[in-house]
Amino acid sequence: HNVTVLENVAYNTNGHSFLLRDGKEWNNKIELNLAAKNRNPGGDDAGFLIRSLRNVIVGNVVAGAVDRGFSFPIEGSVKEPSRSGLPGGNPSPRKDIGGSILNNVAHGCHGYAFILSRWLITSDTSVPLKGFRLYRNLGTGAYIRGYYVKFHDAFFADNRVKSVDLSYCDNCQLKNVDIVGDTALIQDEYKAHGTWHQCIGDPEYSSSFRYVGVEMFAWNDHETKYDELGQRFEDVRFSGFTNSSCAHAKAVAFEKKRRMPHYDLLTTMSGVVNLDDGDFPVDFCTASEVMEVEDVVFN
């Protein structure tokens, strides 16, 4: 507890570069550190792996990770041996409302730039994750799984599979977010190398589209029966999808390979803007095909 990790560089490490392992490490400050080119001998290794959000994680950078940039696999309980003898019993990091996660950057990661999984807050009291800059990653920018996750003031660009994957994400919010499919710089690079409209994409998908800005996989937890909103988009700006380097890119799409028997949470969008000239490439047809959605209403 109460440790400051400030202005360090971890370069070319085997495995995780910075690690809070057990979920018990609370009220620490991890600020202005760099994890560069960490290797992945064990699988799923990250520049920063942190199992509890009850910390201050500010201004850190991951560059060129072989697998993951920032990984937050939130634990249901504190891992052994740290949980033995904890005062007040064994707390659940998944129920913490979070600390200060602010202005972190990941680029050049071969897998996921950011993963947050199983943060199961049961009310709209979670602390927003703010100011992430996730760009030029060969995989996905942010994979988010949990309840009441708030992703604010973020920037995504040139991520080759997805910018944001809202997977099993109930009552999650994107607010004041910029999502760029292709920047002008990356378009010029692809044209110069003769790879225009040759998508990397995700092999899980059919050839109908290859990468997306936001993919939604919404669901309803029938044990808790939340009556509140599903995904919430507020002031989200899309660009670089209408005329992108991938012929079938989509700014917003639904998961195609998984069938959802109960899609009964409302997704709301306010202040969503397409900054490109031309049509806004949004795939609501998939929602109809996969999840039997019958009505889409724009206000």
pLDDT of amino acid 104: 98
* Angle, CA of 114, 271 and 152, to the nearest 5°: 30
Query: What's the order of all strands across the beta sheet hosting 18-20?
Result: 18-20, 46-50, 68-73, 112-120, 140-147, 162-170, 212-217, 250-254
pLDDT of amino acid 263: 46
Please tell me whether the peptide bond between 81 and the residue prior to it is cis, using omega within 30 degrees of 0: yes
Pairwise CA distance, residues 294 & 299, whole Å: 17
H/E stretch holding 49: strand 46-50
Pairwise CA distance, residues 119 & 294, whole Å: 31
- Check: CB of residue 88 under 8 Å from CB of residue 131: no
The tens digit of pLDDT for each residue in 103-139 reads: 999 999 999 999 998 887 767 778 899 999 999 998 8
Between 181 and 125, the higher pLDDT residue: 181
What is the band of 90 on the pLDDT scale with cuts at 50, 70, 90? low
As a three-state string, the secondary structure of 52-84 is: CCCCEEECCEEECCCCEEEEEECCCCCCCCCCC
Check residue 259 and report its DSSP letter: -
Pairwise CA distance, residues 168 & 99, whole Å: 23
Rounded to two decimals, what is the model's pTM?
0.85
What is the band of 287 on the pLDDT scale with cuts at 50, 70, 90? low
Residue 251: name the closest of 227, 278, 226, 225 by CA: 278
**Percent over 90 (pLDDT), the chain:** 35
pLDDT of amino acid 89: 53
Pairwise CA distance, residues 97 & 254, whole Å: 28
Check residue 93 and report its DSSP letter: G
